[in-house]
Structure 1
Amino acid sequence: MKSLGAILALALAGLQLLAVAVVVFSSYFTSERSLLEHARSQLYDVGTNVIQHTKWFMSPARSAAELSTALATNQIVRREDRDHLEGLLFQQLRSAPQFAGAYYGDSDGNFVYVKREGDQQYLTKIVDVESAHRALFIRRSDDFADIGRYVDPTDTYDPRARPWYIEATAYRSSIWTDPYIFFTSQSPGITAATPVVGFKGNVQGVVGVDIEIAELSNFLSNLRIGKTGAALILNRNGDVIAHPNPDLLTTKGEGGTLQFPSITEIDDPIARAAFGDRLGPDGVAVDSPIQSDFELLGERFVSLIMPFGLDDIPWTIVLYAPQVDFTGALKENRAQNTLIAIAVAATTALLGLALANRIHAPVRAFAVRSSLISQGEVDPNEPLPSTYKELENANTALVHEISERRRTETEYREIFERASRGMVRIDSSSGRLKRVNESFAQLLGYSPGDLEGVDFRMLLDPEETEIRAEFSDWIGGQKAFGFEAKVLHRGGETVWISFNGIYVHEGGPDDTYVVATIDDITQARATEETIETLNREIAYFSRQEMMGELATGLAHELNQPLTAITQNVDAAQLTIEKTPNRMNDVRALLGEIDDHAHQAADIIRALRALVRKDENVPSDFGIIELVTQARRLVLPEARQHSVDFVLPKGKEIMVRAVKVQVAQVVVNLLRNAVESLALLDSDARILRVSATREGDHVRVVVEDNGPGIDDALELFTPFETTKRDGMGLGLSISRTLIEANGGKIWHERSGQMTRFCFTLPVRGIGDV
């Protein structure tokens, strides 16, 4: 039993819990979206900051190279004066701590190079291609003091073969080389190079500045993106040139040389996932910022990929951060709010239960009283205790409903018990009789008590196998159904019944049954069988009468081939006796004898098909062959009146019907057409027969150009005829036979032609 009070309390608590949950979760999702948008905005700000820092970090190198180039080009510092050139490069190197070295190489292969070496010390390398010692090395202090020299005559360094010299000469403008690992310091770096162009447009040399970019990795490691986010910098070929963890930036390539790791190979799975599969055959191609979210090992991340946007530095920055860094506190707050909502709902449920119990008390009392009234233990007319007005109205409606239901049940019971027709109630799941009336019990020779609980299928005749098999589907099909079948009387006799049932559903799934009316149709079935037998006899006698009318013509038709056979036999015997060597003539005579014999056989076969006793058994046969045989029977009469026969042509069409009955219909229609044409005052007497397939049926048309039929004549009605000596049964019998074989027959007018049509099912559609 369900308590209305408990339902009210739970509903109240559930609604409150739902309302709080909606508020909590909607606020959570709104806040989460805002925080994630903030996270993406923060990534963009950090990326912009990294780009600005890199620009600030690297621009002095290009400025220094361009300044030195300008001084050399304008001969403020002569290129041939290597001491002054060394001093210029020394000053440039001291101006920016990120510079690793500054140098100048000319078109002849001479080279001046100043680099940092240790703390507060510098090393100058001067290559003079015309000097005997080839390469001079000078150690200098922070104040440019000479603290030691040595020479290396084996040094073969040629600046013109270096990438920075080749690229600057080719582009004739300031260039940045791709980042690489400096051989001496094993640190990542990049070179800014500017060509020195003479007044005649020739390149006289190139000034270069080496800058170590390890400081960029240190800068990235100090960035704060959420709690655990990170940023890294990629070169255009996909190499990672700056990373918060500098230990990941070097790897050994072929020959043991140090090189940068590719973004697809670096030992940072989060960085690889953040960049995705955007590295193509031509390297990194990112023209604008790309924001995306991705998941790795069950954790969600936000990411941003953006190009540097600097003139000729084709670098890309990749930033990522876990979403939980921004939404973690929000999720914790959501869990707390959910617990608070559950506590509030539980408290509200307890209070609501007490309130609902108080409100529900009159309803509970009303339910108890209604149950007692339904069981007949309380008079419904007794006054109702003081209660809600709505319950008073419900009590009035309930009393009226109970009275109406009792009256209906009484009427139904009286009708069921006293009905002159058999009535039964059958369980829809088992097929057993739940209740039967006296009329049905008497029909089978039992008492009602004997039949209750019996499976209805056990009452059916054993021959009713199809109905037994389908009965379960019928009673469970939730719709009306009916059938005619044989059942067994208690004494063993067979009784024909007509069963008409309807499906009834009352309340629960177990309150389903079938109510059926059952009529005894044994006498009606016997009458139908008698009528059917009489119809077959009438049809048979009609064929006999027809054959009597055709006898004279058929005798003449048979006499012709028989006379020809006799004459040909005499001629063959005489030929053999007189001239034994004329065997070809004898063979010709025998062939004519065979043709006439087949002609006589066709007439006899058609005659036999028409006059044999009707067994009412459908079979498969060709309709065109049957029309040809029927023509044989009316051909003498047709020849007498000069009627031109037009028979159906084309492929044979097989039909399913009782052949002798269809033959009788065809012969009757052909004779009617010939008799009608006999009255035509014209030499053009045409009788045409056609057969065509239309879907599942074949359509046969018999038409003639005779005078037609009077419109006042009611065709297919017994005893309606225009013949003086006719009985008027031909068309009536034809309609009965065609309909018994599953077809239709009708008359229609088509221009000057009188047309009778009928249909039959084709073979394979089913038995008639």
Structure 2
Amino acid sequence: MKSIPLRWLIVTPFVILALIAGITMYLVSTVTISNIASRVGIQYIKEVEGRIYDRVQGFMGPLSDIVEINLNAFSHRPELLDDLVPLTNRFYEQAIPYNQMTFISMATVDGRYLASAQDPIKRGQHSIAANFINEPLTMEGYHYDPMHFIGSKIVEDDSFIYDPRTRPFYQDAIKANTVAWSNIHPYYGYPTLGIGLSAPIYSQKGELLGVTATSIALVELDKYLKSLELVDGAYLFLAEENGSLIASSEQSELFKTADGVTSRVGLNNHPNTVLQLASHSLVAGTHKINVEGQEYLYYVKPITLKYDKKWLIGILIPSAYHKSVLAGYTQSTVIITLVLFICIGLIGSLLAWYIGSPIQILNQAANAKDIKSIQQLPDPLSKIREINSLSQGLSSMADNLFDIMQHLEKKLLKGPRSCKEKRIICLRMR
């Protein structure tokens, strides 16, 4: 059987253990860092989502608040609807704090209509719309007058026949028999979307009095998503449950008009491939999508508004972002693993040298075929108790053997008394 050097016997287990420990540490660290990186990405997404969620809730809140205030007032005081002109001041003051509010209106069961109107794009430009001032069911625009409520007619505004009872906001509220949302629609002549909320008004006897409504322009939500500072390659969108876009971080249109027909842009027909693929997963939660070799962490969060209206917040960030955040830690782990491997190997080598060197000295002395080489071993030979005990034992045995040899030599020098005794001594000497 082939013998193995003591030094290798000691060093080899250390190297193997160091290798196992290093590989284990690297794998565990890699998995841990990967999990942490994913959590970093999710935490970033949730932070952005929280900001969007709060902004949307705060933006849309006044819409339902004002409807509820007017609904409660007109239901309990139906006499307010006998003369709509004084309501001008009420609607105007309600609209002043909210630049996004485009219409606050009242349509009576006999067809009269009054609204505080605001330009969807040019904020702060208020006017009054009414269809009963000069001619019944004839819509005209007026300046607001703090004293008389309805001021002079706006010359540049055209007059046209307008019966609110035929309009969707009125019919939707009557059909639902409760507060109802309108469909999101483009404002005529303006590059923005809007949405309305309307409520039927009944007297205490259950008689229909009319419909009060509010409308809001959604352009500010689109501007807000575009204004958010995101990591490179990230995307945000706000969409309806069917995937129709309300706002996005992309510089693209939200609706198109072709041959006089206006159509909404949805995720599924968006020019951006990433958003197209996002349309396949509109279920709340975290997803991963791959676009031409680029992986994205995709998060969908539903946002519920009052009266059963639900929208979706979508956030997509490239996985390279949150992986690069901890790339330095991965490199540090590799370096630490290598240093650990080298240190364990060096410790094993030093330990092998510390144990093996005195044993090597003993081995050389034992194989020298000279008793003096054993007698001349240093005392102590090593600080290791067992090796030092072995050295002392060999030295003691060598001293005893040396004494026996000297005693035999003296007897030989005195001469044997017979040939038989001489032969015995010679044999012993051999």
Structure 1 length-normalised TM: 0.41
Aligned counterpart, 2:312: 316
Quote how far apart the aligned CAs of 1:138 are.
0.9
Report if aligned partners of 2:301, 2:312 keep a CA contact under 8 Å in 1: yes
For the residue of structure 1 that corresponds to 2:268, the secondary structure is coil
For the residue of structure 2 that corresponds to 1:248, the secondary structure is coil
Report if aligned partners of 1:134, 1:154 keep a CA contact under 8 Å in 2: yes
For the residue of structure 1 that corresponds to 2:304, the secondary structure is coil
Give 2:217's aligned amino acid.
Answer: E
Q: Provide the rounded CA distance (Å) in 2 between the counterparts of 1:39 and 1:260.
A: 31
Aligned counterpart, 1:526: none
Give 1:292's aligned amino acid.
Answer: H
Q: Provide the rounded CA distance (Å) in 2 between the counterparts of 1:337 and 1:151.
A: 72
Aligned counterpart, 1:650: none
Aligned counterpart, 1:93: 95
Aligned counterpart, 2:249: 244
Report if aligned partners of 1:165, 1:206 keep a CA contact under 8 Å in 2: yes
Structure 1 residues 177, 347: CA separation in 2 closer, same or farther (over 3 Å shift)?
Answer: same
Quote how far apart the aligned CAs of 1:336 are.
3.2
Quote how far apart the aligned CAs of 1:313 are.
1.0
Q: Which of 62, 65, 68 in structure 1 is aligned with 2:67?
A: 65
Report if aligned partners of 2:37, 2:325 keep a CA contact under 8 Å in 1: no
Report if aligned partners of 1:132, 1:153 keep a CA contact under 8 Å in 2: no
**Any idea what the Cα deviations from partners look like across 1:307-328, whole Å, max 9, x if unmatched?**
2233421212223333343342
Listed as ranges, the matches of 1:574-585 within 5 Å are none
Aligned counterpart, 1:255: 259
For the residue of structure 2 that corresponds to 1:293, the secondary structure is strand
Listed as ranges, the matches of 1:550-629 within 5 Å are none
Q: Provide the rounded CA distance (Å) in 2 between the counterparts of 1:80 and 1:104.
A: 12
Report if aligned partners of 1:40, 1:303 keep a CA contact under 8 Å in 2: no
**Any idea what the Cα deviations from partners look like across 1:419-461, whole Å, max 9, x if unmatched?**
xxxxxxxxxxxxxxxxxxxxxxxxxxxxxxxxxxxxxxxxxxx
Listed as ranges, the matches of 1:456-471 within 5 Å are none
Aligned counterpart, 1:490: none
Q: Provide the rounded CA distance (Å) in 2 between the counterparts of 1:297 and 1:142.
A: 61
Structure 1 residues 191, 4: CA separation in 2 closer, same or farther (over 3 Å shift)?
Answer: farther
Report if aligned partners of 2:88, 2:150 keep a CA contact under 8 Å in 1: no
For the residue of structure 1 that corresponds to 2:274, the secondary structure is helix
Q: Provide the rounded CA distance (Å) in 1 between the counterparts of 2:325 and 2:155.
A: 66
Q: Which of 160, 163, 166 in structure 2 is aligned with 1:161?
A: 166
Structure 1 residues 350, 38: CA separation in 2 closer, same or farther (over 3 Å shift)?
Answer: closer
**Any idea what the Cα deviations from partners look like across 1:387-432, whole Å, max 9, x if unmatched?**
xx9xxxxxxxxxxxxxxxxxxxxxxxxxxxxxxxxxxxxxxxxxxx
Listed as ranges, the matches of 1:138-149 within 5 Å are 138-140=142-144, 146=151, 148-149=153-154
Listed as ranges, the matches of 1:442-457 within 5 Å are none
Asked if 1:305 corresponds to 2:325, the answer is no
Asked if 1:116 corresponds to 2:118, the answer is yes
For the residue of structure 1 that corresponds to 2:80, the secondary structure is coil
Structure 2 length-normalised TM: 0.68
Q: Provide the rounded CA distance (Å) in 2 between the counterparts of 1:153 and 1:319.
A: 44
Aligned counterpart, 1:19: 21
Asked if 1:338 corresponds to 2:334, the answer is yes
Quote how far apart the aligned CAs of 1:52 are.
3.7
Q: Provide the rounded CA distance (Å) in 1 between the counterparts of 2:101 and 2:262.
A: 21
Listed as ranges, the matches of 1:525-564 within 5 Å are none
Quote how far apart the aligned CAs of 1:115 are.
1.1
Report if aligned partners of 1:110, 1:129 keep a CA contact under 8 Å in 2: no
Report if aligned partners of 1:195, 1:206 keep a CA contact under 8 Å in 2: yes
Asked if 1:290 corresponds to 2:285, the answer is yes
Aligned counterpart, 1:329: 325
Q: Which of 60, 80, 89 in structure 2 is aligned with 1:78?
A: 80
Structure 1 residues 253, 11: CA separation in 2 closer, same or farther (over 3 Å shift)?
Answer: farther
Quote how far apart the aligned CAs of 1:239 are.
0.4
Report if aligned partners of 2:144, 2:151 keep a CA contact under 8 Å in 1: yes
Listed as ranges, the matches of 1:415-426 within 5 Å are none
Q: Provide the rounded CA distance (Å) in 1 between the counterparts of 2:55 and 2:79.
A: 32
Q: Provide the rounded CA distance (Å) in 2 between the counterparts of 1:4 and 1:218.
A: 77
Quote how far apart the aligned CAs of 1:169 are.
0.9
Report if aligned partners of 2:99, 2:124 keep a CA contact under 8 Å in 1: no
Quote how far apart the aligned CAs of 1:348 are.
6.5
Quote how far apart the aligned CAs of 1:230 are.
4.4
Quote how far apart the aligned CAs of 1:69 are.
3.0
Aligned counterpart, 1:205: 210
**Any idea what the Cα deviations from partners look like across 1:220-263, whole Å, max 9, x if unmatched?**
34556777654322213220112223x33423155344443112
Give 2:332's aligned amino acid.
Answer: Q
Count residues with an aligned counterpart.
360
Give 2:285's aligned amino acid.
Answer: I
Report if aligned partners of 2:179, 2:199 keep a CA contact under 8 Å in 1: yes
For the residue of structure 2 that corresponds to 1:95, the secondary structure is coil
Compare relative contact order (CA 8 Å, sep 6+) and give the higher one, 1 or 2. 2
Structure 1 residues 270, 345: CA separation in 2 closer, same or farther (over 3 Å shift)?
Answer: same
Aligned counterpart, 1:273: 277
Q: Provide the rounded CA distance (Å) in 2 between the counterparts of 1:41 and 1:241.
A: 25
Structure 1 residues 259, 11: CA separation in 2 closer, same or farther (over 3 Å shift)?
Answer: farther
Q: Provide the rounded CA distance (Å) in 2 between the counterparts of 1:154 and 1:225.
A: 47
Structure 1 residues 78, 150: CA separation in 2 closer, same or farther (over 3 Å shift)?
Answer: farther
For the residue of structure 1 that corresponds to 2:259, the secondary structure is helix
For the residue of structure 2 that corresponds to 1:62, the secondary structure is helix
Unaligned runs of 5+ in 1: 279-285, 367-382, 390-768
Quote how far apart the aligned CAs of 1:264 are.
1.3
Report if aligned partners of 1:134, 1:151 keep a CA contact under 8 Å in 2: no
Q: Provide the rounded CA distance (Å) in 2 between the counterparts of 1:181 and 1:10.
A: 77
Q: Provide the rounded CA distance (Å) in 2 between the counterparts of 1:207 and 1:156.
A: 20
For the residue of structure 1 that corresponds to 2:236, the secondary structure is strand
Quote how far apart the aligned CAs of 1:190 are.
0.9
Moved more, 58-67 or 109-118: 109-118
Structure 1 residues 36, 72: CA separation in 2 closer, same or farther (over 3 Å shift)?
Answer: same
Report if aligned partners of 2:102, 2:117 keep a CA contact under 8 Å in 1: yes
Q: CA RMSD in A?
A: 4.2
Q: Provide the rounded CA distance (Å) in 1 between the counterparts of 2:136 and 2:155.
A: 13
Report if aligned partners of 1:82, 1:112 keep a CA contact under 8 Å in 2: yes
- Report the identity percentage: 18
For the residue of structure 2 that corresponds to 1:193, the secondary structure is strand
Q: Provide the rounded CA distance (Å) in 1 between the counterparts of 2:100 and 2:338.
A: 61
